[in-house]
Structure 1
Amino acid sequence: MSGTNQRIDGKRLWDSLMAMAEIGATPKGGVKRLTLTEVDRQGRDRFRTWCESLGLTVRVDAIGNMFARREGRDPGRLPVLLGSHLDSQPSGGKFDGALGVIAGLEVMRTLNDLGITTEAPVELVNWTDEEGSRFGHSLMGSGAWAGVYPLDKVYGLKDVEGITVEQALTGIGYKGSHPAKPFPADAYFELHIEQGPILEREGRQIGIVTGAQAQVWYDAAVTGQDAHAGTTPPSARRDALVTAARIIDLVDRLMRARGEDGRGTVGQLHVLPNSRNVVPGEVRFSVEFRHPDFAEIERLAGEFPRAAAAVADAAGTPLQLTELFRLPAQPFDPGCVDLVRQAAARLGLPAREIVSGAGHDAVYVARSVPTAMIFTPCKDGLSHNEAESIEPEEAAAGCQVLFEAVLARANRPL
C-alpha cells in the first residue's frame, strides 16, 4: 500500500481476529457464537475489555447493541460510526462480521498510537444478532435500532427451546439501559468480507459497495396426502414433495432468466412425515429472490406466485404462499462511498464498485445515517462456512481503507 504514513498495525489486527475466534471455536476451524448465548457474552466481554483499555466509553442499548465512544475535539459534532457484528452462524467462519468489529477496534488503537484527536467523536458498534440464526430474525439489533422492528415484537421472539430474546438478553447481562432507537450521527462505515467470488476472481483487494440488492422473501407450504409408498399408484398420488420440487425448479429458472444479476434460493425444506416409505403429505420451504433492480423484484413478486400456484393446482396439491417482506434496493450515501473510493485510490489498492448481495446491518443503518461499506475478498467466495478464509494482508488493506475513510469523515470541514 502507498499513499500514507498513518498505518494501522496489520499484525495486531490479525492477532485480535484470531483471539476473538478462540471464543466459540469449532473443530473445523470456524466459530459458533450464536447470539445472546454464553459464548456470545464471552465475546462481548472481551470486546468491552479491549475498548475500555483504550479509554473508550462503552454503552449498551435495550436490544444489546454496544457502542464504544472516542471523544472528538468538538463536542457539538455528530459522531462517525463504524462497526459490524460478533455473532455467527451455527457453523460460521472467523471473519463474517468479526472483521468489521475488530478492524474498527484497530482503527481506534491506531488513532491512539498516532495521538490523533478527531474533530468529531468516533463510535465503534457491535450490533446484536445480525445473523438471525437463533431467533429467526436477521439484522435484529440494527433493525430494532433503526425502528424497522418494534422492540416489543423483537423481545417476544423465541428460539427452538422457547427462550425469548428479552430473557436471553437479561440472562447474559446485555439488556442495556439506553434506548434502542436512532440517534443523530454523521456517518456509518462497515467493513465486511464480500461473501462472494467477484473480488477474488478479478484480483481486486477492495470492493467499493454502492448499495444493497432488493429482496422479496416467502414462506411456502404445499399440502398433499400421506400415502403408502408401496401401494399407492401414480394416479392416486398427491405428492407434496414432487410439487415442491417443481416449484423449486421454477425458482431456479426465474433466477437464471435474469442472468448473473439474478438470485433465487430455497434454503429451507421441511418434509412431512419424512418417512422413506410414505408419500410426503406436506412440505414447507423458504423462497427468496434478490436483484439490484427493484423493478425486477416487483416483476418477480407478480410472476412467481401465479406460476407457482399453477404448478400446485395442476398437481392437485394446494399451495399456501406468504410474502414475508419486500425490500427495495438500498443505495449508500454518495459522499461516504466516495471517501472509500478515494482511500483505495490513494493507497494504490486495486478496487471495483460492487453491489452487496447479502443483507448487512449497514442496510438498516442507512435509513437514518449516511452509510458506506467496504468489502475485502474471501477465498473462493465462501462464507457461512467454517472454512471461510481471508489473507492477513487482505484484512489489513480493508482496515487501512476503513481508517482513511473514517478519519476523513471525522475531520471534514463543516
Structure 2
Amino acid sequence: MRRNLDASAEAIGRDIDALARITDPGRPWTRRAFSPRFDEGRDHLRRRFVAGGLQVSTDAGGNLIGLRKGTRPGAGTIMLGSHSDTVPDGGRFDGIAGVVVALEVARILARRGAVLRHDLAVVDFLAEEVSVFGVSCIGSRAMAGVLPQDWLGRTSDGRDLARAMADVGGVPESLHGPLRDDLKAFLELHIEQGPVLEAERIGLGIVTAIVGITRVEIVISGRPDHAGTTPMGLRADALAASARIVTQIEARATELSAGPAHFTATVGEFEISPNAANVVPARVRMLVDIRAERARDKEAFVTWLTGLEAAPGITVETRLISDNPGVGMDDGLQRKLAEAADGLGAACRRMVSGAGHDAAFMARLCPSAMVFVPCREGRSHCPEEWAETADLALAAEVLANTVMELDRKREG
C-alpha cells in the first residue's frame, strides 16, 4: 500500500501543460533547441524556478540551472533534471517530465521544511535531442567537458553552434574542460519510451545501464540500366541487393535480442538513386543504428556487417559514422532509489535504457542514476506520447526521499 505523498500530481500536470502550450503552431509538440519557441519555454522555466525558491543562472554550456543552497559550504551539490527541448512533432513528456519533476522535488523539500547540508540543483540541459546542428546532448557534454571543439563551428541557417549557444546564455569560448567539480550525485527522471513498465503494470523502473550506440553507413553500388530492356538475370540491381541485406540485418539482430542482454539494430535511413521508375537502381545508401547493453555484442555485429558479401556486379562498402559506449548507472544510487520506492510500497524493476540520455554524460562527473515511469503503449517521439501525472508524482516522491537520504550520508 502506497503512503500519502507530499508530491503534487496537479502541480506537475500544470507545469507540463504550460510547457506543452509553447509549441510551433499546428505542430504538437515542437519546441526545438535554438528556436524562438525554445527560448520562450526557457523563459517560462526560469520564472517557475524562481517561483519554486531557486536561484537561477545559465552555465557556460547553455544549461539552465536552479539552485537551492545547502547549509554546509563545500559539501557539494546533488543535481536533478533533464531537458526541455523536443524532437519535431514530438511528445509532451520526453525530457520535460524530468525537468518538471526535479522542480517538484525542490518544492516537496520546501513543503517539508527540509534543510539540506548539500546544495540542490535543478537543471534543464541544452539540446539533448538531435538539434538543427545535427548533434545531441550538447549541454550535458559541455558540462562533462567532452563537447568536441569542432562542433562549435557547425552551422545552420547562417549561425554556428558557438553563436547559438551564446544566444541562450552560454559561454562557448570557455568550454575547455568539465564545468563542475562539486557534484556528488545526479538523478534523472524520464518516461520509459518503451512498453515494458506498462505491460507489467509497474510504476517505476530503475535504470541499470544506458546502451552503447553505434551507427554504420552502408553503400551498395550496382549498375544503372533500362528497366524495360535489361533481362532480370543480367542486372546488377543495388536495391534488390540492399533488400537482402536489410533482411539479414533484421534476422541477425533478432537472434542477438533473444539473449540475456538488450540489443537492437535498425535501418533508419535509406536512400536510392537514381530513384526513377524506369531505371534499375544503381546505388543505395543506408544507415544502421545499433544499440547494445554489452560492448562485445555491438562489436561482433559491426564486424559481421563489414563482412557482408556482395552479389555478382554489386559492391558493398561500410563506414563507421559514430560509436558511443554504453554507460552503467551507479549501483549505490540504484539501491537508494529501490529502498525509497520500497519505503513507499511502490513496485519497481531494474531495466536497461535503449535510448540515450544526459545521464550518460553526467556519469563522467559523478555517480548517476535514472528512474523511468511508464508511457502509454510505449509511445514516444510522437504527438501521442503520454504519461500519467500520478506516476510522475510517485517518482518525484522517490527522488525527494532519495535526495534526503543522500544528504544524510556522511562524507566519504
Task: Give yes or no for TM over 0.5.
Answer: yes
Indicate the residue corresponding to 1:202 in structure 2: 200
Contact 1:101 1:125 in 2 (8 A): yes
Once the 2 structures are TM-superposed, how far is the Cα of residue 162 of structure 1 from its aligned partner? 5.2
User: Residue 353 and residue 12 in structure 1: after superposition, are their counterparts in 2 closer, same or farther (change >3 A)?
Assistant: same
Contact 1:84 1:127 in 2 (8 A): yes
Contact 1:90 1:133 in 2 (8 A): no
Indicate the residue corresponding to 1:319 in structure 2: 316
1:333 and 2:330 matched: yes
Contact 1:96 1:383 in 2 (8 A): yes
User: Residue 410 and residue 277 in structure 1: after superposition, are their counterparts in 2 closer, same or farther (change >3 A)?
Assistant: farther
2:101 partner SS: helix
Matches within 5 A, 1:55-94: 55-94=53-92
Residue number among 217, 220, 229 corresponding to 1:219 in the alignment: 217
User: Residue 361 and residue 352 in structure 1: after superposition, are their counterparts in 2 closer, same or farther (change >3 A)?
Assistant: same
Tell me the TM-score normalized by structure 1. Answer: 0.92
Indicate the residue corresponding to 1:174 in structure 2: 169
Cα distance in 1, alignment partners of residues 306 and 60 from structure 2: 38
- Structure 1 range deviating more: 75-84 or 297-306: 297-306
2:404 partner SS: helix
1:2 and 2:2 matched: yes
Letter in 1 for 2:282: G
Contact 2:59 2:170 in 1 (8 A): yes
Tell me the TM-score normalized by structure 2. Answer: 0.92
Q: Cα RMSD between the aligned structures?
A: 2.1
Cα distance in 2, alignment partners of residues 398 and 121 from structure 1: 21
1:349 and 2:346 matched: yes
Indicate the residue corresponding to 1:272 in structure 2: 273
Cα distance in 1, alignment partners of residues 363 and 316 from structure 2: 36
Which residues of structure 2 form unaligned runs of 5+? none
Matches within 5 A, 1:236-315: 236-260=234-258, 261-307=262-308, 310=309, 313-315=310-312
User: Residue 323 and residue 74 in structure 1: after superposition, are their counterparts in 2 closer, same or farther (change >3 A)?
Assistant: same
Contact 2:29 2:91 in 1 (8 A): yes
Cα distance in 1, alignment partners of residues 280 and 131 from structure 2: 30
Letter in 2 for 1:169: M
Indicate the residue corresponding to 1:380 in structure 2: 377
Indicate the residue corresponding to 2:363 in structure 1: 366
Indicate the residue corresponding to 2:47 in structure 1: 49
Once the 2 structures are TM-superposed, how far is the Cα of residue 211 of structure 1 from its aligned partner? 1.3
Once the 2 structures are TM-superposed, how far is the Cα of residue 373 of structure 1 from its aligned partner? 0.2
Cα distance in 1, alignment partners of residues 386 and 281 from structure 2: 39
Contact 2:202 2:347 in 1 (8 A): yes
Letter in 2 for 1:220: I
Contact 1:340 1:405 in 2 (8 A): yes
Letter in 2 for 1:205: G
Letter in 1 for 2:165: L
Once the 2 structures are TM-superposed, how far is the Cα of residue 325 of structure 1 from its aligned partner? 3.1
Letter in 2 for 1:287: V
- Structure 1 range deviating more: 186-195 or 391-400: 391-400
Cα distance in 2, alignment partners of residues 63 and 232 from structure 1: 57
1:187 and 2:185 matched: yes
Letter in 2 for 1:336: L
Once the 2 structures are TM-superposed, how far is the Cα of residue 370 of structure 1 from its aligned partner? 0.3
User: Residue 169 and residue 242 in structure 1: after superposition, are their counterparts in 2 closer, same or farther (change >3 A)?
Assistant: same
Contact 1:61 1:177 in 2 (8 A): no
1:316 partner SS: coil
Letter in 2 for 1:90: P
Cα distance in 1, alignment partners of residues 325 and 402 from structure 2: 27
Contact 1:122 1:410 in 2 (8 A): no
Once the 2 structures are TM-superposed, how far is the Cα of residue 215 of structure 1 from its aligned partner? 2.9
Cα distance in 1, alignment partners of residues 84 and 25 from structure 2: 15
Which residues of structure 1 form unaligned runs of 5+? none
2:307 partner SS: helix
User: Residue 201 and residue 323 in structure 1: after superposition, are their counterparts in 2 closer, same or farther (change >3 A)?
Assistant: same
Indicate the residue corresponding to 2:114 in structure 1: 116
